[in-house]
Structure 1
Amino acid sequence: MRYGILAHNLGKTDCKELARRVSAYGLEFVQLALAKALTDFDTSLGKLNPGMGHYVADSFAREGVRIGVLGCYINPIDPNPELRRQQIDRFKEHLRYARDFGTTMVATETGSVKAFLDVYPDSTEETRWNLLRSAVQEMVEEAERWGVRAVIEASQNEVVRTPELMQRLLEEVPSEHFGVLMDPVNLLNASNYDRQHEIVQRAFDLWGDKIVLAHIKDFDITPEGRMVYAPMGTGKLDVPFFLNLLKQYKPYTNISFEGGIKPEEVPAALEYVKRFS
């Protein structure tokens, strides 16, 4: 397995400095959310271009770091139609220039249910689902045009939050250019984490063949019953179980540290996960 990190977990700074930081921790790739990670570029809609992509890719390559995926985390069911259109267009722009940044993948989650309900409290789950499916269909068609992948991540409190809902989306938007970002913790919550083996195994059984990238983070449960970040190896995620499944289904998968990991925690986290991979 190869390990990387969400680049902005190491701070928002200029491209060359960020590449140096990633390399100094012995990480091999980044998940790069341009607007969250880089200070030396305007990456707003309409500004991406091949030259920018080449500069960023070359800066990381000189430090021995690859850009494994561009993060473009949008709300594809934004209740404001104009904002929803802008965000989908931004994701599509990332797809068009992904290869210039040295990757073939752009990732997002599936939209805040709460934000939609705040505006449309009487809306149904099917209404939100249809908006998501339409957005994903459009993004996947753009990915097909450019020979890259639109990558979708499940997350609690969003439209796709269970293995079964991810499978439904894969069935309704069938394409080899639609990949899944596997984050086992995002399939869990305070009421089901004690069934994590069953839930994570179910995800691999349903769409393990569609996984193109993985996230890893640890978590704990507060006395009040809330899920919170925990340093790697100190929480409730069964890390060996997850990594063994990943090795079986998708050997050599890129795995990105994320969540609340702090720079000073990276060396211990890397040492811990490498025991099982």
Structure 2
Amino acid sequence: MRVGIFAKTFAGTTPDVVLAAARNAGYASVQYNFACSGLGALPQTIPIAAVTAIREASERTGVAIAAISATYNMIHPDIAIREAGRRSFAAIAAAAHAAGSTLLTVCTGSRDAADQWRDHPDNQGVEAWQDMVAEFGHLLAVAEQHDIFIGVEPELANVINSAAKARRLIDVMASERIRIVLDPANLFESEDAEARGRIIDEAIDLLKDRIAIAHAKDRNDDGSFAAAGKGVIDYPRYVASLRKAGFDGDVITHGLSAVEAPDVAAFLGPLVASEGSNT
């Protein structure tokens, strides 16, 4: 395993600046976002020079590009907004290999027209599921064309809001291109310690054949988010469960400030490096 971080944690609009900041804070990889190249999170055109700059910055700093964000609202009530998201996904997919990654990360979205991270009563309806499946049909065609993988992150306020729903998506789409980005803090809001551990362990076991990236953020007792190691999630148990499941990918932290980043790297590093985490 490697410890990584969301590139957008650090200020800057050039990959040299952002990846150097990640390295200096103690990270070996990033989940990249084209906003860090000054192009916005969902560019519809990506200059070759911008892609080359990412690859060269990665080589200079030694910070790997573990994945690239291509998240848009896959079930937005306005089809034109979905179509724009698809175009951006396709542009990012076309650039991914040259930038240094084969994994594009997505979330499945919300019927809330203003905020894809806000829950909506229609998110768990039949029509929302059908729209999402249709959207994945478009994305999988792009993934095949460009030989990339799609990392789907379960989010409580989205269509895929649990490990069970993620497993259902994998089974319905029946494509090896579908992978999972698993964040333990996205699996519950407020639970007691026993329930938290069980929910996380069961999610890892259910999805272990598809987990491409493990995220690392935390929850406070009141359900609000916290930086990894600052909340109630049992991180030694989480990492041990990942290792037991055979996971050896990147553990990517987010939901923290640049100021907090070195401390979180120092917290996660020994857990990820220690073979004792599997006992």
2:76 and 2:112 in contact (8 A); partners too: no
User: 1:176–1:255: structure 2 CA closer, same or farther, 3 Å change rule?
Assistant: same
**For 1:45 and 1:13, how far apart are their aligned partners in 2?**
14
Aligned with 1:159: secondary structure? coil
**For 2:121 and 2:215, how far apart are their aligned partners in 1?**
32
What residue in structure 2 maps to residue 239 of structure 1?
235
1:244 Cα deviation from its structure 2 partner: 0.6
In the alignment, structure 1 segments of 5+ residues that lack a partner are none
**CA deviation string 1:6-41 (max 9, x = no partner):** 011112432221122111112111111112x233x4
**For 1:209 and 1:23, how far apart are their aligned partners in 2?**
30
**For 1:197 and 1:182, how far apart are their aligned partners in 2?**
14
**For 1:253 and 1:271, how far apart are their aligned partners in 2?**
18
1:42 Cα deviation from its structure 2 partner: 6.5
User: 1:273–1:58: structure 2 CA closer, same or farther, 3 Å change rule?
Assistant: same
Aligned with 2:232: secondary structure? coil
What residue in structure 2 maps to residue 256 of structure 1?
252
User: 1:51–1:193: structure 2 CA closer, same or farther, 3 Å change rule?
Assistant: farther
**For 2:227 and 2:221, how far apart are their aligned partners in 1?**
13
Query: How do 1:215-234 and structure 2 match up within 5 A?
Result: 215-222=215-222, 227-234=223-230
Among candidates 49, 52, 63, match of residue 50 of structure 2: 52
2:189 and 2:224 in contact (8 A); partners too: no
1:267 Cα deviation from its structure 2 partner: 1.9
1:56 Cα deviation from its structure 2 partner: 1.4
AA of the residue aligned to 2:266:
E
Query: How do 1:123-162 and structure 2 match up within 5 A?
Result: 125-162=125-162
**For 2:121 and 2:241, how far apart are their aligned partners in 1?**
39
What residue in structure 1 maps to residue 275 of structure 2?
none
User: 1:75–1:24: structure 2 CA closer, same or farther, 3 Å change rule?
Assistant: same
1:211 and 1:250 in contact (8 A); partners too: no
Work out the percentage of aligned pairs sharing the same amino acid. 22
1:135 Cα deviation from its structure 2 partner: 0.8
**For 2:178 and 2:86, how far apart are their aligned partners in 1?**
15
2:106 and 2:153 in contact (8 A); partners too: yes
1:113 and 1:157 in contact (8 A); partners too: no
**For 2:145 and 2:65, how far apart are their aligned partners in 1?**
21
User: 1:157–1:192: structure 2 CA closer, same or farther, 3 Å change rule?
Assistant: farther
AA of the residue aligned to 1:38:
S
User: 1:123–1:256: structure 2 CA closer, same or farther, 3 Å change rule?
Assistant: closer
**For 2:169 and 2:114, how far apart are their aligned partners in 1?**
19
2:51 and 2:99 in contact (8 A); partners too: yes
2:32 and 2:68 in contact (8 A); partners too: yes
In the alignment, structure 2 segments of 5+ residues that lack a partner are 273-279
**CA deviation string 1:76-130 (max 9, x = no partner):** 0011111111112211221122101110010011102444999x97786111001
**CA deviation string 1:126-155 (max 9, x = no partner):** 110011111112212211222110111000
Among candidates 54, 66, 69, match of residue 68 of structure 1: 66
Aligned with 1:70: secondary structure? strand
**CA deviation string 1:176-202 (max 9, x = no partner):** 111111111111122577512222222
AA of the residue aligned to 1:204:
I
Query: How do 1:1-277 and structure 2 match up within 5 A?
Result: 1-35=1-35, 37-39=36-38, 41=39, 45-115=43-113, 125-190=125-190, 195-222=195-222, 227-259=223-255, 261-277=256-272
AA of the residue aligned to 2:197:
H
**For 2:100 and 2:269, how far apart are their aligned partners in 1?**
26
User: 1:248–1:221: structure 2 CA closer, same or farther, 3 Å change rule?
Assistant: same
2:185 and 2:218 in contact (8 A); partners too: yes
AA of the residue aligned to 2:28:
E
**CA deviation string 1:50-86 (max 9, x = no partner):** 4421221112220111111101111000111111111
